[in-house]
Chain A
Amino acid sequence: MKIAVVQFPGSNCDQDCLRALTDGLRVSAEYLWHKETSVSGFDAIVLPGGFSYGDYLRCGAIARFSPIMRVIVRAANDGMPVIGICNGFQILCEAGLLPGALIRNQSLHFVCQPVWLRVETEETPFTAKLDKERPLWMPVAHGEGSYFAEPATLAALESKRQVVFRYVDESGRRTRESNPNGSMLNIAGICNEARNVVGMMPHPDRAWDRRLGSEDGKLLFESLVETLESAVTL
């Protein structure tokens, strides 16, 4: 089993994601350069955070045209698990793999702080192991993380249980105060209809080590590994 961490020019969480997998989980993971045109040999894809191509024009707007994204879109449509974290989430939306968009934070400021997340569905490769009753704790760090979608899209997300994470308070309640960026319906992460593509603004790659105050992020990657392993044994 091997997981790819994509490197765009301007990615800056690529090293954190790789370390979360190799040091945190001891699974095999490698960088995948944005100019590559194949994902063969990999079983899952991580699109890390950062400022791909400087986030010029619009976050993720240029990255979606990179050579690697063309093959990732194909692989995702064929069912390969793909997770986009922070800038990775923005890229997935721009690439059309996920609905909606991430717009400027309501405060107009960059926000870096820990948040509580409620797991809304275990039915994705990245959340299979998670407990819906126990909120997760991990940091967000973004300037443009306010999730926005048309009412019809939001309704579809809800009815098809595509909302994966929501910002909540410590006890798991959805409140206005617990929403760090003004996201609609407190949405922190979503998946596609096929449930193999997940995008989220918070950083599991910064919450995989007790010393960082939380190991909750590790659970997502562990879910992925278990899902992949069970797929192999089938």
Chain B
Amino acid sequence: MVTQITPELVRDHGLSEAEYERIRAILGRDPNITELGVFSVMWSEHCSYKNTRLELKKFPTAGPNILVKAGEENAGVVDIGDGWAVAFKMESHNHPSAVEPFQGAATGVGGIIRDIFTMGARPVFLLDSLRFGPIQGTTPAVNKSRRLFAGVVAGISHYGNCVGIPTIGGEVYFDESYEGNPLVNVFCLGILRHEQIARGAAKGVGNPVFYVGSETGRDGLAGAAFASRDLTEKSKQDRPAVQVGDPFKGKLLLEACLELLASGCVAGIQDMGAAGLTCSTCETASRGGTGVQIDLALVPQREPDMTAYEILLSESQERMLIIVQRGEEAKVKEIFEKWDLPYALVGEVTGDGMMRVLNHGRVEVEIPAAKLANEAPIYERETIAGSAAPELRIEDIPMVDPQTSLIQLLAHPTIASKNWVFRQYDHTVRAGTVVPPGSDAAVFCVREADKYLAATTDCNGLYCKLDPREGARIAVAEAARNLVCSGATPLAVTDNLNFGNPYSPENFWQLREAVEGLAEACRRFGTPVTGGNVSLYNQNPSGAIDPTPTVGMVGIIREERWITRQHFRDEADVIYLIGPVGQEMGASQYLAIVHGRKECLPPRLSYDLELGVQAVVLELIHKGLVKSAHDCSEGGLGVTLAECCMSGERKIGALAWFGAGPHRLDQILFNESQSRVIISVRPEDAFATEALCAAAKIPFNRLGEVGGSDLVVATEQQKLRWDVAQLHRAWYLSIERAMEVRF
């Protein structure tokens, strides 16, 4: 039976009339239903970036260390010296996690791991950047957010732990704007030798094309298209569009593929992620400047009677397409039989540039591969500038006792310790985690290469909501600052742009502003963008999420002795604030959490000051002067000092003196001005520290010293004292308590 292509059917596939005409022009005829499905997924935002491609071009992608640039392959590759390189990337699984949190998050991890080993790299660690609605309370919305949070964490734990790749860091935020539309951004980094870089290109006409990994089933049908529309009340019905992950198969596939790649017989390799078999065949052909012909009857199938449409659009997990050098077919057989994995010879590379799909010998799809992969329509979307947030007038903020405010901030799940989360992640497998989760940046020793890498993810969605350009700049600056505090020199960035529906001009304006802010900051910090992911249509019935351009940044620590942690260590060490005391309260967590106001202008970033502070902190670390360094971010100096006191194995007090400034104590403690780092040094190194800061013309304040069991903060007018053990309890147990509520 031939399905008639009607305007309704075209619309149901998420294609516009103009796009349909473009398809007809490419084919020179009407597409059949299978071809329509193929175009629909390849031209979805998820695969084609049709709405964002013009924006993404603004990112700096070149640099002296860049071996594979953004967009060329599945992930960018960056040189780290001595013939070693890293491949890393961040990707979202927001929509699947919203309807099926456990599997949605698990398959997000599986997908990003495949992206990395497809490059020929051995994945060595993961990070997760997560956002949910509030989890404290008992309303139905809160209960749902808790269920999503618990499910996502369990899903990440399920997949990552089983595959044996440590999850060593990341971030978790809780805010109303993510209610019903959580963000699950997963980052993976892999290590490889320069000569091991694998390509996703179908090279060599006549080379055999192998399908390896799990059998194809009906799960995840057209998931890429599902991810490219708004989440609504009816999204639950899309649950079949969510894939089901099998981490055990993922682990076997990882090992088998790395073994096969090492054998030297692979001409091209591509994972089947979004848009499955469709995307992998047309992209490899397009990159290779060739064609690919496959017969679906040869594809291992989990269920009987699957149609060509279903097989091509399935997003079943743990599958790869491998183009092998002709004559080396036996090697594939040997390795995949060793690992007990299904494999099948399904076709070959052709010279005619066509993606040709047969089913039992009958042609089902015949589309010029390069046109399908690269000639998706590109749109310049309309924008309407949001109104600028007003400056905060401190007089408008009633004074609340900072004594209780600090505890309130520390106990807020966004700021509170994430131990409930990272205890569920295996973060010690691979025996390389030098600085475990909970510090500014995670530090990992890659034993294969004998290198120390630091990695972090950052984004303050509230800043981005109130000023997307400045918020994006700050996300890059803070990521770099986090790395510097751990002793690392930043290398490169991967980003995950999470925004609302791009057809809303307000949303698109946010996206453009954020991209330009990221691009500018990445240039200033010398950290090119190596790739990433765009996730649009992040909406719940009450509107779009706060714009969240998550930044993942990787740095390198050349000497072991430079590795620096955030917590105070010994009595009598001197505490310095590098950077200004600051005063900007707009968009601060204090304003949001204590005063219930998500408003006003976020802090301004000065590149010169920020780069100066980072340079001097790094120099102090390199000179061996720094015993601890902690970036000052959400919650200001108050939260930063408290974290310095309580995040180590041993809790220790501190005294910080702020003299006789003009500012209110709540403003001193909780402002979120940028470019600030708290360090501690040995008393005998105080002079050298001050001399170095003065020579660099960087503002600094000697705040006081480490010691005792209380955190004491004082000005001329006021003195506050907190028992560190009490602060620790509020901070450490908050999320666990919220999650213990039975629902």
Contacts and interface: CB of A to CB of B under 8 A. Distances in A.
Interface of A: 9-10, 12-13, 15-16, 19-20, 23, 49-51, 53-56, 109-113, 139, 141, 143, 203, 205-206, 208-209, 211-212
B728 to A, nearest CB: 15
Contacts of A54: 162, 246-249
A10 B427 contact: no
A111 B164 CA distance: 14
Contacts of B339: 9
Contacts of B248: 9-10, 51, 53-56
Nearest to B157: A110
A52 B240 CA distance: 29
Contact of A110 (B424, B431, B432, B447): B424
A50 B164 contact: yes
B428 A206 contact: yes
A9 B164 contact: no
Given A50-B164, A211-B434, A139 B428 contact: yes
B238 to A, nearest CB: 28
B434 A19 contact: no
Contacts of A51: 161-162, 164, 247-248, 251
Contact of B431 (A19, A50, A55, A113): A19
A111 B424 contact: yes
Contacts, number: 84
30 contacts: A9-B248, A9-B252, A10-B251, A12-B162, A12-B251, A13-B429, A16-B429, A16-B430, A19-B447, A23-B447, A49-B429, A51-B247, A51-B251, A54-B162, A55-B162, A56-B248, A110-B157, A110-B161, A110-B423, A112-B423, A112-B424, A112-B427, A141-B426, A143-B161, A209-B431, A211-B434, A211-B445, A211-B560, A212-B432, A212-B433
Contact of A206 (B247, B424, B431): B431
Contacts of B432: 212
Given A9-B340, A54-B246, A110-B424, A15 B161 contact: no
B425 interface: yes
Nearest to A140: B428
Looking at chain A's contact residues, the main secondary structure is: mixed
A112 B428 contact: yes
B163 interface: yes
Contacts of B431: 16, 19-20, 205-206, 208-209, 212
B105 to A, nearest CB: 14
A58 B654 CA distance: 50
A143 B430 CA distance: 18
B422 interface: yes
Nearest to B339: A9
B247 A113 contact: no
A110 B160 CA distance: 12
Interface in B413-462: 422-434, 445, 447
**Highest count of chain A CB atoms <10 Å: which of B340, B426, B432:** B426
B589 to A, nearest CB: 28
Interface in B128-169: 154, 157, 161-164
A112 B425 CA distance: 6
A209 B161 CA distance: 22
Contacts of B161: 51, 110, 112, 141, 143
B453 to A, nearest CB: 13
A15 B429 CA distance: 10
A219 to B, nearest CB: 16
Nearest to A180: B423
A82 to B, nearest CB: 21
B164 A13 contact: yes
Interface in B393-426: 422-426
